[in-house]
Each structure stands twice: as structure tokens, then as C-alpha cells.
Amino acid sequence: MGSDAIVFIVYLLILLSIGLYFSRKASKSVDSYLLGDRSLGPAVTALTMQSTSMSGFMFLGGPAEAFQRGWYAILYGIGDAGGSIVNLSVLGKRMRRMSELLKALSPIEYLEKRYESTGIRIVGAVISIVFLFAYVFAQFIASGKALEALTGLPYELALIIGVSVIVIYTVTGGYLAVVWTDFFQAIVMVIGMVGILIMGLIHVGGLSGLNASLAQIDTSYLSIWGKDLEFYGQWGVIIGAILIYSIGYMGLPHVVVRHMSMRSTKTVKTATLWTAIYNQAMAFSPYLIGLIGIILLPNIADPEMVVSELAYTFFPGLFAAILLSAVMAAIMSTSDSILMQAGTILSRDVYQRFIHKTANQDRMVLVSRLSILLAGIIGVIVAIKQPPSVFALVVFAFGTLGNSFLVPYICSVYWRNSNKVGILSAMISGSVSHILWTTFDWQASTGIHPFLGGLIVSILGMVIGNRFGTPPSEDVLDLFEKAKGPRILPNNIEKNISCEISPEAKSISIFVSSQLSVESKL
């Protein structure tokens, strides 16, 4: 066993010890259990929140795309960095009000309630599962590559070990105090990523030096049309590349677990600011590192290994091994939460709904975990037989999501008479067209990015499908009008409303008005 493999095992043991120490500490009271410790400072909270999104994509996929296509790849970063702004400005206020009124905890539940259709929930669940599995397969491939680099084992064997570790960790890991392990992870990864970027920029003479060197190799690296001007004049490709991350996030099938703070939470606003700063900084780093790789590692065999090769080039072997261990652990922590989500959706929305309506709690847990095991086996077969690139898989996953959910979300708050047939048509046509567009590479013949193609088809599906459905119920139309507002609150007050106490506010409102009417009668 190589020394780097020993570093990896020691690293995992340290993570395990941190987790065990804090979970034992927490076991004496109700603190932290299932929620993690929320009494941390804003910077810690922000880093912790982000470490789960630091996945194989950031360390392998993003740099590889920039290495192969030059500055064109930065378009994906622009979409990523601007995503939250687009979400907030287009949908933010209205969708938040509507979710509150519908008492929806997840985006799919929101659509189900808005259109009073369980069909939407089922189609949404199936699309989410496709996305989750595609995304987690990308993590599996990344885990195989990271382990291969660390241990020197053949890719296939490294992949099987990596996926086995992930699956075992996901079904038997209990609940470690993930906040602290995530924080530790995030620190190692941020230092590593920023360290590689700074060292890389110093080596190539800053951004100007980087561009000058790229121009010497091939001027088309500097173009937004891609290397060799591959996408020249194809605005459909450029727009699609920017849009995919800016709106793909809206379809993420996460579920908010309601929680109640037992003490003052004055750090929330600052945490959001830290997250925003962090997002802006980290959105572009992988691509810049990929560009640096073109100059410093022109003969690298696998572009997805740019980060690990640069780590070994710039830093002592030990540090590079620690960074790679952190990447592997990040892949594990991203994969486990995705696998858990996929297992939950499959067992609740598919198994319990269609196969065994009266399934008890133990059976539900068992089905959920067995589906995780199955995903692991399929993932290994896919990753060995025909491994796609990490980047391609992640873009495919986000594209499917965005094409399925973007049109339904916008219509839910801007089109009063949109109905469930329209929404189902938009979801199905959007996702299917994205899958076909990618599989048969229609981008090459049409000059339109699969995401933009899927979006156009989804809009058509919505408009045509809506003609065949019945109008929404009076109750929903009433909520639609209420969500439109305007509330009469000043902007800054409106911005910081806590939606989670909306049920309480409703009850208090009824209580206060009944109290007032009693007092006025007296």
C-alpha cells in the first residue's frame, strides 16, 4: 500500500473520530440530533452548508471542461454564480408567498398542491430520481478516479472499493455530527482549491499571463465559442450553457425539515452573506484551474485529473494526498445525501403509493436502503462499462431538472389559468426532449444546446397541453391572487420575513381579531 493510501485511511479515521466525539457529546441532550449544531458562527455555518455541494464536479468535472474547451467553459460558471439572483428576481417573492399559502415543504409538493394533482408528484418524483441517479453516478466515477490517483490501484478496482465504501457509509453510518466533519472538510478543500489557484496563477503570470500563454497555444481557447470555434455563431449553445446552472437549481428535490430555534438566531443574515461571497469565489475557480492546466499540464492523459496533478506539482506529496483524501470524503458526503433522497422518494412516492400502501416503518426503511444498494450496483456497472465524463453527467442531470421544472414554476405564479395537463405536458416533454437531445447529439445538427432545445419544447408542451385541461379550482385561484400581492410592507421588512412561522402568524391573526371583536362588543 502506498503512503498516499495510508494518508487517505488516516484522514477518514480523523473524520470518524471528529464525528464520534461530537455525536457522543450530543447524545446526552436533545441538542444537535438530526439537525446538526446550529449555534455556530456565521462563517462556520456558511462553510458547512457549502461543503455538501462541493462534489466531484468541482474538482474533476469543471476543470476538465475548461481544459478541453477553454474560456467557453466559464459560461457555466457565470450561470452558477448568477443562479440565485435569477431565482430570486424571477420567482422569489411570489413563489415564496404561494408556498406559504399552500403549506408546501418541497418544490415538488408545491407543484402537486398548486395544481391539485398527484400525477404531478409522481412524474416529478420519477424525474427527480433520474436526476439524482445521474448526479450520483458522476460522483461514483469521481470516487473511482480519486481513489485511483491516491492508491495507484486500477480504475475498476478503485471504483468498486469507492462505491462500496459510499454505499456502506450511507446505510449504516448512523448519524455522525456532520456539521463538524463537514466544517473540517470544507476548510481543507477551500485551502486546497484556493492554494492551487493562487500557485497556478503565479506560475502563469496572473490572468494576463494566462491569456497570453493560451493565445500562444491556440487563440480559440480565448473565444466564447469554444476551442477550434466549435460552437461558432451557435447562440443556442451559448445561451443554454449559461441558463443550465442559473435555473437548474430550482428543480432540486430537497425537502425542508421544519425546525424550531430554541434561542435567538441573530446570525442568519450574516451567514447568507458569507454563503454569497463563497459562492461567487468558488463558482469560477474550477474553470480557471482547468485553464491553467492547459499551460502547465499540456500532455495530461485524463483532463479530469488536472486538480490532483497540479496539487502534486505545487505542494509536497503529503499535502496533495490530504487534499485528494478531502476530495474523496467530499464525494462520499455528497453521494450519501443524494442516495438518501433518491431512496426516500422511491420508497415513499413509488413503493408505498403503488406497490404496498400499508407498508410499515421498518419496511419503508428497508426498501429505501435496498434501492440505494441497487443504485450502487448499477452505478458500478455503468461506470465500468461506458464511463461518461463527470462534467457531461452533471450537465445532463441539471439539464433534465431545469427542463422539467422551469416552465411549471414560472407558470405557477404568472399564468393564472395554467392547469395540470399543461404542467404535466411541460414536465414530460421538457425532460424527454432533453434526454433525447443529449443522447442523439442533436446539438451538432441544430446548433442548439440540449437545455435550450428542451426549454423550447417544454414551453410548447405547456401551451398545447393547457388547452386540454380543466381550469384550476376556485380555492387555488384565490391563493394565486393572494400570492400576487402586493403586501403593503416596506421592502426591507418584506425581505426578511420568516416563512417558517407562517402557520403561527395565521393562528395569531385569527386570535387577535377575535379578541378585538370581543373587546369592541364590550
> Which one of residues 299, 507, 520, 522 is an interface residue with another protein (CB under 8 A)?
507
Half-sphere exposure at residue 324, Cβ-oriented, CA atoms within 13 angstroms: 34
List binders of another protein among 363-392 (CB under 8 A).
364-366, 368-369
Q: Could you tell me the smallest distance in angstroms from the CB atom of residue 19 to another protein? A: 8
The C-alpha atoms of residue 86 and residue 135 are separated, in whole angstroms, by 23
Reading the block at residue 78, the C-alpha cell is 457565470
Binding to another protein by residue 252, rule CB under 8 A? no
List binders of another protein among 151-170 (CB under 8 A).
169-170
> Which one of residues 172, 358, 386, 445 is an interface residue with another protein (CB under 8 A)?
172
Binding to another protein by residue 477, rule CB under 8 A? no
Q: Could you tell me the smallest distance in angstroms from the CB atom of residue 9 to another protein? A: 16
The C-alpha atoms of residue 461 and residue 440 are separated, in whole angstroms, by 21
Amino acid at the residue 433: S
Binding to another protein by residue 516, rule CB under 8 A? no
Reading the block at residue 485, the C-alpha cell is 400581492
Reading the block at residue 312, the C-alpha cell is 502534486
Binding to another protein by residue 470, rule CB under 8 A? no
> Which one of residues 3, 17, 39, 118 is an interface residue with another protein (CB under 8 A)?
39
Reading the block at residue 245, the C-alpha cell is 446552472
The C-alpha atoms of residue 380 and residue 408 are separated, in whole angstroms, by 34
Binding to another protein by residue 302, rule CB under 8 A? no
Region from 62-70, 238-246, 274-282, 493-501 binding another protein, contact rule CB under 8 A: 493-501
Binding to another protein by residue 456, rule CB under 8 A? no
List binders of another protein among 345-364 (CB under 8 A).
361-362, 364
- In order of 183, 275, 278, 498, the CA distances from 45 in angstroms are 8, 9, 12, 18
Amino acid at the residue 292: I
Q: Which is nearer to another protein, 152 or 503 (CB)?
A: 503
Q: Could you tell me the smallest distance in angstroms from the CB atom of residue 385 to another protein? A: 28
The C-alpha atoms of residue 186 and residue 413 are separated, in whole angstroms, by 37
- Give me the phi and psi of 264, to 5 degrees please: -60, 140
Binding to another protein by residue 218, rule CB under 8 A? no
Residues 6+ apart with CB under 8 A from 130: 397, 400, 431, 435
Amino acid at the residue 211: N
Region from 46-54, 81-89, 428-436, 510-518 binding another protein, contact rule CB under 8 A: 510-518
The C-alpha atoms of residue 72 and residue 218 are separated, in whole angstroms, by 14
With beta carbons less than 8 A apart as the criterion, state whether 247 and 91 touch. Answer: no
Binding to another protein by residue 273, rule CB under 8 A? no
Binding to another protein by residue 344, rule CB under 8 A? yes
Q: Which is nearer to another protein, 370 or 428 (CB)?
A: 370
Q: Could you tell me the smallest distance in angstroms from the CB atom of residue 140 to another protein? A: 17
With beta carbons less than 8 A apart as the criterion, state whether 419 and 471 touch. Answer: yes
Binding to another protein by residue 207, rule CB under 8 A? no
Binding to another protein by residue 259, rule CB under 8 A? yes
Binding to another protein by residue 264, rule CB under 8 A? yes
Q: Which is nearer to another protein, 301 or 488 (CB)?
A: 488
Binding to another protein by residue 24, rule CB under 8 A? yes
> Which one of residues 3, 118, 515, 517 is an interface residue with another protein (CB under 8 A)?
515
> Which one of residues 21, 33, 232, 468 is an interface residue with another protein (CB under 8 A)?
33
The C-alpha atoms of residue 347 and residue 369 are separated, in whole angstroms, by 9
Region from 76-84, 302-310, 327-335, 501-509 binding another protein, contact rule CB under 8 A: 501-509
Amino acid at the residue 181: T
Binding to another protein by residue 417, rule CB under 8 A? no
Radius of gyration of the chain (CA): 24
Tell me the DSSP string of 349-409: IIIIIII-TT--HHHHHHHHHHHHHHHHHHHHHHHHHS---HHHHHHHHHHHHHHHHHHHH
Q: Which is nearer to another protein, 341 or 443 (CB)?
A: 341
Binding to another protein by residue 256, rule CB under 8 A? no
